[in-house]
Chain A
Amino acid sequence: MKRLLFYAIATFALLDQAGAEPIITLGASVQETGRLANTGRYYRDGYDFAVQTINDRGGVKIGGERYQLALKILDNQSDVNLSVRQYTQLLTQDKVNFLLGPFASDFALADSSASEKYEVPMIQGGGASDQIFSRGYKYIFGTLPVASKYFESTVQAMSKLEPVPKTVALLYADDAFDVAVAKGTRELLQSAGFKIAQDERYSSNSSDFSTLISQIKAAAPDAVLVAGHETEALNFIRQSKSLDFSPKLYSFTVGVPTADFRAALGRDGNFAFGMTSWLPSASQKDDYFSNAQLFAEGYKKRFGYEPDYHAASAVADVETFVKAIEAAGTLDPKKVRDAIARIDFESLYGHIQFSDVGQINLPQTVVQVYSDNVIPIYSQKGFVNKPRYPMPAWDKRP
């Protein structure tokens, strides 16, 4: 009886101790519902997985004391105005310590005003547009590579193909991210000596590309580069098939590396080029997840779907905060902000280091889809695998 009592008291004492550990709260407003929810979930789940794993590995250490990470996520329903108000609320009412970002450049653009107003650092892995970082803001950092350089590896690879494509059609949606991509890509193409046969801007969320495809088909370029969203890339490929349009090469900024994109297209997705700043390879080491491959497996097991670079970027954001807080040795927002600006470490996402304006510099790997596999084709070191080029006509595909 006495022993039972002893154990009971000991257990309560231990539990009490566990509850008494200080907490660092990270706040985020994410698209859990609404038209961007399909990608927003990668961020919610990525943040969650990261926080859980880091806590399991001992949490954050500041000056000998251990802190647990907590996450407060609000659903902005894919509404920019609501997300701005939610970030302000997270800071002023919920009193979170630091901020994690939303998905999409236009959200990051608007939401970073909140972090700047209240002088609390925000690390976002969802917005790549150069515009986010060109306003002289000090409290916003981004782990998606610079938008204007998205097609850099692709253009380099293209100039080394045989036969070299001569004419290129550039298609882009009219939102912040894709306009930035197009601007940079134009310059890249021109300096590499490609002739831009068509340069067309289309409305975001268009579902019908018939006219554009017919126009491009009439101009018959060798290559087509599309800067748009996943659903647009999907519609483009399907409608290209039904209009019998097949250039020698087409490449998309998003969609190709993602599993449900390939599942939706089936064999029609073959030969499409895309890019990713992240591949789940075992050689990409990480302090909390061991390596990127184990992370991908753990993620799939926990959430039921495969992660892509969005999720990896989200995890990198959380890890960056942990490293910065530990380096600064304090929770003071200004000091942590300075620590983030100086950060330099390897994670499952890649090498984390920010430029003067707060954006990461990661090269994109050119990938190609074949038989439901995403095959890395070209990275900074040159051709990794042989690309399947030129793309055969629709009725001649194996």
Chain B
Amino acid sequence: MMRPIGSIAFVAMLLALVFVPWLAPPALIQFGTTTLLLATLAQSWNIIGGYAGYASFGNSVFYGIGGYGTAIAMVQFGQPFGVGILVGAVLGVIFALLLGLPVLRLRGHYFAIATLALAEAMTGVVSNLDIAGRNIGLVLPLRKGDAFFYELSLGLLALATLTVFWISRSRFGFGLIAIREDEDAAGVMGVNTTLYKALAFLLAGFFSALAGGIHAYWITFIDPVSAFDITLNVMMIIMAIFGGAGTIFGPLVGAILLASISELLATEITGMASLFFGLVIVVAVVFMPRGLTDLTRRFPGLGWRYFRENLRLHRL
């Protein structure tokens, strides 16, 4: 549950972050924008993966669809960014419904594999569409001024986090948690599991699509390989899990921490970033599968035994 000090701190931090573009060097703004977008993706995954327990490995589909919707609207139809991002979001929601309904009937790792397959299939489909520039992709109009993208991403993250906050205190949210813990029991208790799952998937798709649209315009370039990047999926999942899936701030904390360290490595010891990333995943999954929020909550009481407990529970 959230104590009042938590929400005050959150709002204070948010206000502070708003002023970053005026105080920080351009490289920091750039880093900030990337982190904010990743955090949004982690937060959107949190809705379907953390709360509902449906570990989707294919949220990058919506990220890519949002990006392409924006790009096609702006490049092929000459629309301004506002229209483009709207198109991207609408497409994201439509696909979330179309693809979600059949796929959400699957459970456990079959669901994960199905979403992964969707991402791969989508890459293939888009790379054959002329309107999307086929495998070459599209070049978006140039817009100078990174502060714009930074503030936009910050706003999006705030919106996503507020949504998760609302979910955590609503009947909808409790329904999702019930589905995660025991879907059949939840159904018996009167939870409309199909509706709730679809709604969660839709929300995840909506935010991912918006993030994708902003990113495409910011980088001024989109192509199938980078838009539907599978690694992005794993990154958003590991950030959410590292921070704590099923919590409000977990994905944010995870995203900021991991992105910072990864970016530091990418600039200073270029090339090592992927090695670091892989090692973090392995260590985190083994020793702290419930994330940092769980760690910070239980470590004071248990000490190092916390890690041993996790091992004991899961090892053969």
**Residues of A at under 8 Å CB distance from B?**
32-33, 74-75, 77, 79-82, 84-86, 88-89, 92-93, 106, 109-110, 113, 116-117, 131, 135, 174-176, 179, 203-204
Contact = CB atoms under 8 A, between A and B. Distances in A.
B267 A80 contact: no
A93 B25 contact: yes
Interface stretch (B101-109, B169-177, B268-276, B306-314): B268-276
Interface stretch (B40-48, B91-99, B136-144, B187-195): B136-144
Binding site secondary structure of chain A = helix
B139 A109 contact: yes
Given A82-B266, A89-B30, A113-B221, A106 B271 contact: no
Contacts of B134: 174, 179
A204 B135 CA distance: 8
A80 B273 contact: no
Contacts of B223: 80, 106
Contacts of B26: 88, 92-93
Contacts of B219: 81, 84, 110, 113
Given A93-B26, A110-B219, 14 more contacts: A74-B267, A74-B270, A75-B271, A80-B223, A81-B226, A85-B30, A86-B266, A89-B27, A92-B27, A93-B27, A109-B139, A113-B139, A117-B142, A203-B127
A85 to B, nearest CB: 6
A116 B226 CA distance: 22
Contact of B136 (A77, A89, A179): A179
Nearest to A173: B135
B63 to A, nearest CB: 12
A93 B24 CA distance: 11
Nearest to A80: B226
A195 to B, nearest CB: 26
A265 B48 CA distance: 50
Contacts of A79: 226
A92 B274 contact: no
11 contacts: A32-B271, A74-B267, A80-B225, A86-B267, A88-B27, A89-B30, A110-B219, A131-B136, A131-B139, A174-B136, A175-B135
B163 interface: no
Contacts of B135: 174-175, 203-204
B260 interface: no
Contact of A77 (B127, B142, B220, B274): B274
A75 B270 contact: yes
Interface of B: 25-27, 30, 34, 127, 134-137, 139, 142, 144, 219-221, 223, 225-226, 266-267, 270-271, 273-274
Contacts of A81: 219, 226
A77 B271 contact: yes
Given A117-B144, A174-B134, A84 B221 contact: yes
A82 B142 CA distance: 18
Contacts of A84: 219-221
A135 B225 CA distance: 23
A88 B137 contact: no
Contacts of A174: 127, 134-136
B71 to A, nearest CB: 13
Given A89-B267, A174-B134, A80 B27 contact: no
A81 B226 CA distance: 7
B148 to A, nearest CB: 13
Contacts of A117: 142, 144
Contacts of B34: 85
Contact of B220 (A82, A86, A106, A113): A113
A77 B273 contact: yes
Nearest to B26: A92
Contacts of A77: 270-271, 273-274
Nearest to A75: B270
A75 B267 CA distance: 8
A80 B273 CA distance: 16
A338 B158 CA distance: 45
Nearest to A135: B139
B23 to A, nearest CB: 15
Contacts of A176: 136
Interface centre among B136, B226, B266 (most CB of A within 10 A): B136
Contacts of B220: 84, 110, 113
A179 to B, nearest CB: 6
Contacts of B226: 79-81
A334 B45 CA distance: 45
A83 to B, nearest CB: 10
A75 B266 CA distance: 8
A92 to B, nearest CB: 4
> Considering the complex of A and B, which 7 residue pairs feature the smallest CB-CB distances, nearest first?
A93-B27, A92-B26, A75-B270, A174-B135, A110-B221, A113-B220, A176-B136
Contacts of A86: 266-267
Interface centre among A77, A81, A106 (most CB of B within 10 A): A81
A161 B266 CA distance: 52
Given A117-B142, A135-B139, A179-B136, A80 B221 contact: yes
Contacts of A204: 135
A171 B198 CA distance: 44
B236 to A, nearest CB: 15
B204 to A, nearest CB: 21
Contacts of B266: 74, 82, 86
A120 to B, nearest CB: 13
B142 A92 contact: no
A58 B18 CA distance: 49
A117 B226 CA distance: 21
A33 B273 CA distance: 11
Contacts of B225: 80
A117 B25 CA distance: 16
Nearest to B274: A77
Nearest to A114: B220
Contacts of A85: 30, 34
A31 to B, nearest CB: 11
